[in-house]
Amino acid sequence: MPTESTAGRRRPADLLFDPLLGLFFTRGRVEQLEQLTPRVRRIRVTGPAVRGLSWTPGQHVRVHVKDLGAPVWAGMLRDVLRTYSVWAYDGEGLELCPLDHGDGPGARWARSLRVGDEIAFRKPEGRFVVDGSAAYHLFAGEETASVAFGAMLRALPDEARVHGVVEVAGPPDRLPLPRSGQLRWCFRGDAGAAASGSLVAAVRELDLPGEPGIAYLAGEARTCQAVRDHLVRERGWPRRSVLVKPFWTPGRRGLD
């Protein structure tokens, strides 16, 4: 997939908003853009403020997806921030992988980015992180969930036991996940990812150890709920062993 890495345009930053943004946001510039799959773009952000952030794999950042120079009116506030999992962070550059799902402020922002553009985001946060004490780790979710899963899987020690299902539209939509061979890929074709019966069915078919591990469920909210119900009701897992992080659901904007 092509990588853009030449110097690009700069977005206008209004002087009035500049100091205010600096108080609440970390600012960096797009250093690299890469089309990882037909709908997922990897965005690498670097800059002095991006160095040395505290980040635990699985955590996300809240990104200012409006033009940094444009005034924001009260009614538009819900369209200012969107949440993206951190795909990778090496102490210098932070990488995000927004999925182009169609129409929405986040999707439009990600599509419009060019190398050199300025990005403002809140520091990494969140409790959707790996539990090192678990007997084994179970991952289930769709394309957007697999961004967080990539970081979490990379953080696991070699001896950690991993199971899981990642549902995507088709083979080209698979992100390059570590331990890919230990995960099952499930292809839903033209069906929607919302309330996906095929993901639940694929998790039901997994041959898991007798005792519960820790499950990480992310992506579309109703699908996450259905997988949790399966683990708790059908497999008898304690609720505390199932970490759920809904990322989006039809009809809701900026879920978080």
Ligand X SMILES: Cc1cc2nc3c(=O)[nH]c(=O)nc-3n(C[C@H](O)[C@H](O)[C@H](O)COP(=O)(O)OP(=O)(O)OC[C@H]3O[C@@H](n4cnc5c(N)ncnc54)[C@H](O)[C@@H]3O)c2cc1C
Which residues would be at the binding site for ligand X (CB under 6 A)? 60, 82-85, 97-99, 101, 104-107, 126, 144, 147, 193, 245, 247-248, 250-256
Given a contact cutoff of 8 angstroms between Cβ atoms, the answer to whether 48 and 94 are in contact is: no
Rounded Cα distance, 163 and 209, in Å: 10
Which contiguous run of DSSP H or E holds residue 200?
helix 197-204
Q: Retrieve residue 154's tokens.
A: 């990379």
Among residues 128, 123, 40, 56, the alpha carbon closest in space to that of 88 is found at 56
Please say which residue, 33 or 99, places its beta carbon nearer to ligand X: 99
Q: How far is the CB of 88 from ligand X (least distance, A)?
A: 11
Q: How far is the CB of 129 from ligand X (least distance, A)?
A: 11
Angle (CA) 235-237-242 rounded to 5° is 120
Angle (CA) 121-51-115 rounded to 5° is 60
Q: How far is the CB of 208 from ligand X (least distance, A)?
A: 25
Please say which residue, 92 or 125, places its beta carbon nearer to ligand X: 125
Please say which residue, 146 or 241, places its beta carbon nearer to ligand X: 146
Q: Retrieve residue 72's tokens.
A: 């924001």
Q: How far is the CB of 123 from ligand X (least distance, A)?
A: 14
Please say which residue, 98 or 213, places its beta carbon nearer to ligand X: 98
Please say which residue, 59 or 241, places its beta carbon nearer to ligand X: 59
Q: How far is the CB of 234 from ligand X (least distance, A)?
A: 26
Rounded Cα distance, 236 and 233, in Å: 5
Q: How far is the CB of 83 from ligand X (least distance, A)?
A: 4
Q: How far is the CB of 59 from ligand X (least distance, A)?
A: 8
Q: Retrieve residue 156's tokens.
A: 């696991």
Rounded Cα distance, 27 and 68, in Å: 11
Torsion over CA: 48, 52, 57, 62 (sign): negative
Please say which residue, 131 or 205, places its beta carbon nearer to ligand X: 131
Please say which residue, 229 or 256, places its beta carbon nearer to ligand X: 256
Among residues 238, 233, 234, 188, the alpha carbon closest in space to that of 215 is found at 238
Residue type, 205: E
Angle (CA) 177-181-182 rounded to 5° is 95
- State the residue number with the nearest CB to ligand X: 104
